[in-house]
Chain A
């Protein structure tokens, strides 16, 4: 973090991958070496990315790089800042404020446990930083399952990665879509319809989830029905956010700031909020 909480670091876009029609993944590097050294993210954290002239917006980091000063995030072009980002090219400069917020690692210690990751649509990118972390420390965890749901097969992000993951022996990936196309041979239906396919060791499973609010809501309802302890349900929360540093007040849910108290919360925290989280 810059000591002046409103001032970003200058960073360079080093690569752009097209994910879907409106979604791109950006690799970014902080330019100044001294500032880059200070930037070390943990899984679940986010950054505020600036396009100077358009503003700034928060994006969950999607990898857990060992090298400081580099990061990856995935953006769907749908608003002022994200559309401005969509116009940018490799080598262009943006501003980066962060890393901000807490980490999946700040919640229950899931080492030695089964891991179930449940992602919906553009909710997979923030979870990917944790997935990355688990792969980097695979021996620390037991069974590893990822459920990924999207509206259509074309709406899935990281398609190149998903086929890799499907072939892995130490990971079980199950995908589903709401609406199939003619080439789709996988599951059809919302992500909770996959639950009966799982053989869960309930007391020893930790769930990490992120997706549209309505999905998270039903995922949590179903997990609670299965008897999963509340502390073992870990979710990210999202809100319209401006400053990202706990001052502007936009992202508050009850007395929690999504930006500085979150974005990662477990269900014991979520259920106690004075407002509906989803």
Chain B
């Protein structure tokens, strides 16, 4: 960890900080417990709603930066033609307490939807295009992540270099040190945030930093999922060792529910459709979609290039693990959050399939 200024935040100060945020920001999001006991990342209106203990929410920060339903623009058909309206304003928000895996997924989204993408006269085919909705939303949000002192039962972020602690890629990272948090600042936005609420933050000291390092080492020993060596699985995949029979085996356990994709913090495929709200007014929106459904690629002629479930499963794992894709965006498509492990009814989640892949001869 590079040396940088650290701060502290007493847990007793959190309600006041959240109260101040609720006044000064449009939205504050945090993990909250739902009725059934699951944790969700949701908008809050009081610090009391923040879940006291959680591994990670049912859905990651994807729910905020890439909403399940999002308006692209509105249209109005009139006598003098059609007019289009684009919403350019996005809420100023703070996301409290997401886990390092989810923050890593947002960093991946940044490279796909935002930063580095370019358009305009210099744009050539193959260059990424920036997504204006994502960029505006991202610009106006501060992420406060909470490092994991203890890995969850299904977590494997240690294999994907996205936890249990982050060394970069966050605005503010908190480490739970009992009655207070150690506060690390990872961006200009994070620095400005601490400055804005400086009366609530204390100074951090060398002992806290030492303690944080010790906790990180200890946390790395708490993983229960016997998954590691993604690299070996990826070598098998790109070396052509993983054949169609392998995917048929995976497909045999898959019920095609799309759950893994829905909960995956890195899956970003979407559908686009129009909706009329009156005879003259309507909107175009996007909504989460999944390559696991046959309709994702089925053409109007009936021809479907990915007609079999095996082909669709292959597609998903290739996209996440193949070096072909890493050429375009040098981050593997998994942050080890374990959500697909929890969700998959057929137990053919990322952890299992990587394990199988490593054993392929």
Chain B min CB distance to A275 (Å): 7
Contact with B along A8-41 (1 / 0, CB 8 A): 1010000000000000000000010000000000
For the complex, is A102 an interface residue (Cβ under 8 Å from B)? yes
- What sequence of 0s and 1s flags, for each residue 124-162 of chain B, a beta carbon within 8 Å of any chain A beta carbon? 011111111100000000000000000000000000000
Given contacts A7-B73, A260-B127, contact A53 B282 (CB under 8 A): yes
Residues on the B chain within 8 Å of A103, using CB: 125
If over half of A's interface residues share one DSSP class (helix, strand or loop), that class is named, otherwise mixed; here it is loop
Interface positions of A from 229 to 250, Cβ below 8 Å from B = 238-240, 242-243, 245-250
Please pick, from B286, B303, B318, the residue contacting A254 in the complex, using a CB distance under 8 A: B318
Closest to B301 in A: A78
Chain B contacts of A246 at CB under 8 A? Answer: 128-129
CB distance from B46 to the nearest CB of A (A): 36
How many Å from the CB of B110 to the closest CB on chain A? 14
B327 touches A247 (CB 8 A): no
A260-B125 CB under 8 A given contacts A243-B272, A248-B286: yes
Q: Is the CB of B75 within 8 A of A52?
A: yes
- The reply to whether A10 and B81 form a contact with Cβ atoms under 8 Å apart is yes
- Asked if A254 and B324 make an inter-chain contact with CB atoms under 8 angstroms apart, the answer reads yes
Partner of A5, one of B112, B119, B297, B322: B119
State which residues 99-140 of A face B: CB under 8 Å: 101-103, 106
Q: Are B77 and A249 in touch, CB under 8 angstroms?
A: no
| Cβ-based interface call for A213 (8 A) | yes
Give residues 145-159 of A contacting B (CB, 8 Å): none
Closest to A244 in B: B272
Residues of A within 8 A of B191 (CB): none
> Which of A53, A248, A274, A276 interacts with B274 by CB under 8 Å?
A53
Nearest residue, chain B, Cβ from A262: B125
B270-313 to A contact mask, C-beta < 8 Å, 1/0 = 11111010000010101001010000111111010110000100
In the bound complex, residues from chain B placing their C-beta under 8 Å from that of A8 are: 84
Q: Are B305 and A253 touching (Cβ within 8 A)?
A: yes
Q: Does A56 contact B (CB under 8 A)?
A: yes
14 A-B pairs besides A52-B282, A242-B272, A250-B296 with CB distance below 8 A are A4-B86, A4-B132, A6-B72, A6-B284, A31-B81, A50-B274, A52-B75, A56-B284, A79-B300, A239-B297, A240-B298, A247-B270, A249-B270, A250-B271
Query: Can you list 25 A-B pairs, Cβ within 8 angstroms, ordered by A?
Result: A1-B120, A3-B119, A3-B132, A4-B73, A6-B132, A6-B272, A6-B286, A10-B81, A10-B82, A52-B284, A53-B282, A95-B84, A240-B297, A240-B299, A243-B270, A243-B272, A245-B129, A247-B129, A247-B270, A248-B270, A249-B291, A250-B296, A254-B324, A260-B125, A262-B125
Query: A residues touching B (Cβ–Cβ < 8 Å)?
Result: 1, 3-8, 10, 31, 50, 52-56, 78-79, 82, 93, 95, 101-103, 106, 213, 238-240, 242-243, 245-250, 252-255, 260-262, 274-276
Chain B residues within CB distance 8 Å of chain A: 72-73, 75, 77, 81-82, 84, 86, 112-113, 119-120, 123, 125-133, 268-274, 276, 282, 284, 286, 289, 291, 296-301, 303, 305-306, 311, 314-315, 318-319, 322, 324-325, 327-328
The 5 closest A-B pairs by CB, nearest first: A249-B269, A102-B125, A255-B324, A79-B300, A6-B72
